Amino acid sequence: MTRAATKPRLATLPTDPRLVALEDLAGEDLVHRKGESDGVTVIYKNPDVVEGLGDIPWHRDCGMGGHAVTCPTLIASVYLTAATRETGELTMLPGSRHAAFNAHVAAPTALRGAHFRAEPGDVSVHYGDTVHAAPPPTGRGLPGYRVSAIVAFARPGARPHRGQDSYNDALHQRPDGRVEHLAAVAQRTASKADFTPPR
């Protein structure tokens, strides 16, 4: 859900003193970044998801272009429910923001990463150019799965890609703010002769 700041309590997250204190630990001059929407996103994990960005393989947030204008970006994940392998977790490759390699070419099992358990109220922070993934929940029939609120902080003046087209232009086509399955996005964009991938 990319427009979570329409909910009054979620709208307070970017200025919550506890999140700001964690952002300050980065030692960078960072400010809340609204990005592609209102600046607060909520992720709902669902083992039965069949379209959209419910499960994301290994990636960097700037991996499709824009590193020079978007990074460093610090991502704070506030866990509203428990995060485990069974309920859906966030997995990271420690130290990967300082390494140059393409995480997309590796088989999902080739990169093991660090797995983090979280309880409601826990917060994790990572840089957007850290290789990370949001694999599908392994549990079935559970009463609930991971729900987390995401807030980003970036350099003042950081901006999204400003080329003729941005990859996010291709992703954000639905008026409800949801993202189609990536296979559908790829098929749609491949069929548009006027779509130019970002350089």
pTM for the full model? 0.75
Per the CB < 8 A criterion, the answer to whether 146 and 9 are in contact is no
> Of 5 and 192, which is predicted with more confidence?
5
> Of 58 and 162, which is predicted with more confidence?
58
| Chain Cα centroid distance, residue 188 | 22
Per the CB < 8 A criterion, the answer to whether 113 and 121 are in contact is no
Average pLDDT for residues 24-32, to the nearest whole number?
Answer: 91
Average pLDDT for residues 40-45, to the nearest whole number?
Answer: 90
Structure tokens belonging to residue 89 = 């977790």
Does 130 score more than 60 pLDDT?
A: yes
Per the CB < 8 A criterion, the answer to whether 21 and 76 are in contact is no
Domain ranges within the chain, ordered by starting residue: 4-158
pLDDT of residue 70: 81
Sign of the dihedral through C-alpha 172, 178, 179, 181: negative
List pLDDT tens digits, range 146-198: 999 999 998 887 766 555 555 566 666 777 767 777 777 777 766 654 444 44
92 pairs with which residues across the strands?
Answer: 114, 132
Does 81 score more than 50 pLDDT?
A: yes
- Which CATH number, 2.60.120.620, 3.40.50.300, 2.10.109.10, 3.40.1710.10, labels domain 4-158? 2.60.120.620
pLDDT of residue 147: 94
List pLDDT tens digits, range 60-78: 888 767 777 788 999 999 9
Report H helices in 42-181: 67-70, 167-171
Q: 28: buried, middle or exposed (CB in 10 Å: 19+, 13-18, 0-12)?
A: middle
Type of residue found at 79: Y
Percentage of residues of the chain with pLDDT beyond 90? 33
180 pairs with which residues across the strands?
Answer: none
Per the CB < 8 A criterion, the answer to whether 150 and 40 are in contact is yes
pLDDT of residue 164: 53
Does 110 score more than 90 pLDDT?
A: no
